[in-house]
Amino acid sequence: MKMILKYLRPFRGRMCLGLAIKIIGTVMDLILPYILAHIIDNVVPTKALKPVLFWGALMVLCALVGVTGNIVANRMAARVARNTSEQLRHDLFSRIMHLSCRQIDLLTIPSLESRLTSDTYNVHHMIGMIQRMGVRAPILLIGGIAVSATLEPMLTLVLVAVLPFITIIVLGISRRGIPLYTKLQQNVDRLVRVVRENAQGVRVIKALSKTDYERRHFDAVNRDVVAAEKKAGITMAASNPLMNFFLNTGLTCVIVVGAFRVNGGASNPGSIIAFMSFFTMISNAMLAVTRIFVMLSKGTASANRIAEVLEIDPDLAVESTDTYPRKRDGDEGYITFEKVSFSYNKTKNNLTDISFRVPRGGTLGIIGATGSGKSTIVQLLMRFYDVDSGSVRIGGQDVRTFPLGELHRKFGVAMQNDFLYAETMEENIAFGRELSRREIEFAAELAQAAPFIAEFDEGYLHMLTAKGTNISGGQKQRTLIARALAAKPEILILDDSSSALDYKTDANLRRAIAENLGGQTTTVVVAQRISSVMNADVILVIDEGRIIGMGSHDELMAGCDIYREISDSQMGGAILE
């Protein structure tokens, strides 16, 4: 809750004003039964019309002030809740964008989506309800008891005797509610994950006729959510019936005792009627308190989940050059890996003792089986993760000593499963960077995307759907490569980004990059095709996280059996055999 209070601090002036207005409106509601009792017991017996009209007009005025004050205060409360949750979502999204890959792996993307949506929604409702009812309910409760004590002290004692039972119910149930709602949100995370996976793979699911299978999978997860929601709902729902039971018991006692007191001449009918009005107010206030505790339980659970992200310790801090001094790697070492080992789960190495050098403006090709560690090398180069041992250097400087923004600006990246969003072709290539149309067109020409873009009626203003579902796989990859090339990066990374291209287009792409960016841009190509890497200055053959072959195409053909087998199978040698 400290996190929520921090976000409410800028609105404390508006909240104080809203609370003051709310207090005035609530006090007006408390005055009404008191005036009614005065009219019945003191004014009506005089049989004078003017006093009745005066006190009646005063009741109307108090009612108008009360309803106006409550409406204004509620609108102010809604504005504070809206602005607070807006800032909270902004900061949460910003923090998510700055999480390291390790932290995202730990928290999971579906959970982050859930925290950004349903959890902020719960906090929004909690803030609004606390302002609307968190002031009104206690005032009606305490004020009602205080005013009723001046009217009927004996009946007030009957009412007060019920309150400890209600307090125990509210506190006991709310204490159980927070962990139950936390578990519910965790189940919602799983539900979001399943929906997300099915939405992304809907075409494959339909193609393989697995719709019923995925529906059963979803139903199983959905039942878990329902079970968690049911358990939380049943627990929290017990509060209202139990409170009603004690309140109705108290009300029955009040009516019985009040009847005896009126019959014995110890009380007046007006006082009893006013007391009944106060009792109704107090009952509604107690029910409101219950609702507040239910929403507080849900909101607190969500706030804790949000705070877990906002308060997570920064990862991948910029290290000192004293800790990792700059080294002279020579002309052959613009990109240098030196005895690098790394593990995602810190148990079994995904990379072991990786060492190589790539000259400035040169090309590194990485080839190997699926899961061999090719993409992991790229992620360590961009410092998405830190190495467990060894070092990764660019221009002799360890990547851990670069500010992340400065480091990432060196790269242009196109990955096989990268994303396109629902915007124009031009904006998908520019990607928020202030690039001229000429720069965008030049990048599209290099990426072999210009010909198919020209076929669209709108050209570069052609609107793509989310994830680029209205263009082919090859067109999508060429658009992603154009995005990577558009800012003329120092290091271009093509991570299996030409797998959907035919051999001719792939060859034209490599030729265009070599002719236009050769000597300026250092290129890293991760591929399954020998043809995509065969012209690289340095080719790595990776198997189970280890380098089993390194050199030029000719050197590997002569000295690496696995590379030669791959080459023969892809380029015709195996067929001839």
**Residue 531's pLDDT is what?**
83
Residue 417 falls in which region: left (phi positive, over 0), alpha (psi -120 to 50) or beta: alpha
Compute the distance between CA of residue 188 and CA of residue 144 in angstroms, rounded to an integer.
Answer: 41
DSSP bridge pairs for 495: 415, 526
DSSP string, 141-159: HHHHHHHHHHH-HHHHHHH
**Residue 571's pLDDT is what?**
67
Compute the distance between CA of residue 518 and CA of residue 539 in angstroms, rounded to an integer.
Answer: 17
**Residue 562's pLDDT is what?**
87
Take residue 468 and report the two structure tokens written for it.
């680029």
Compute the distance between CA of residue 248 and CA of residue 168 in angstroms, rounded to an integer.
Answer: 17
Report whether 186 contacts 178 (CB < 8 A): no
How many angstroms separate the most distant Cα atoms in the chain? 121
Compute the distance between CA of residue 414 and CA of residue 477 in angstroms, rounded to an integer.
Answer: 8
Question: What letter does residue 10 receive in the DSSP assignment?
Answer: G
DSSP bridge pairs for 494: 414, 525
Number of H helices and E strands in the chain, helices first, is: 22, 10
To 10 degrees, the CA torsion angle through 366, 370, 371, 374? 10
- In degrees and rounded to multiples of 5, residue 424 shows phi and psi of -70, 160
**Pairing of β 522-527 and β 363-368:** parallel
Report whether 474 contacts 453 (CB < 8 A): no
Q: Of 334, 287, 23, which Cα lies nearest the Cα of 170?
A: 287
pTM score: 0.71
Compute the distance between CA of residue 180 and CA of residue 230 in angstroms, rounded to an integer.
Answer: 10
In 10 A of CB 334, how many CB atoms? Answer: 21
Residue with tokens 């039964």: 33
Amino acid at 381: L
DSSP bridge pairs for 392: 337
Compute the distance between CA of residue 451 and CA of residue 449 in angstroms, rounded to an integer.
Answer: 6
Residues 6 or more apart whose CB falls under 8 angstroms from that of 245 comprise none
Could you state, in chain order, the average pLDDT of each consecutive group of 10 residues for the chain (577 residues)? 84 88 85 79 80 87 89 90 92 89 86 87 88 80 75 72 74 72 79 74 68 81 84 73 74 75 71 73 74 79 89 87 84 86 88 92 88 90 92 92 90 83 89 87 91 91 86 88 89 84 83 82 88 88 91 90 84 44
**Residue 576's pLDDT is what?**
33
Amino acid at 176: R
Compute the distance between CA of residue 330 and CA of residue 326 in angstroms, rounded to an integer.
Answer: 12
Chain centroid to CA 180: how far? Answer: 21
Residues 6 or more apart whose CB falls under 8 angstroms from that of 281 comprise 29, 30, 33, 140, 144
Compute the distance between CA of residue 113 and CA of residue 96 in angstroms, rounded to an integer.
Answer: 10
Q: Which CATH number fits domain 2-310: 1.10.645.10, 3.60.21.10, 1.25.40.20, 1.20.1560.10?
A: 1.20.1560.10
In what helix (H) or strand (E) does residue 237 lie, and over which residues does it extend?
A: helix 211-237
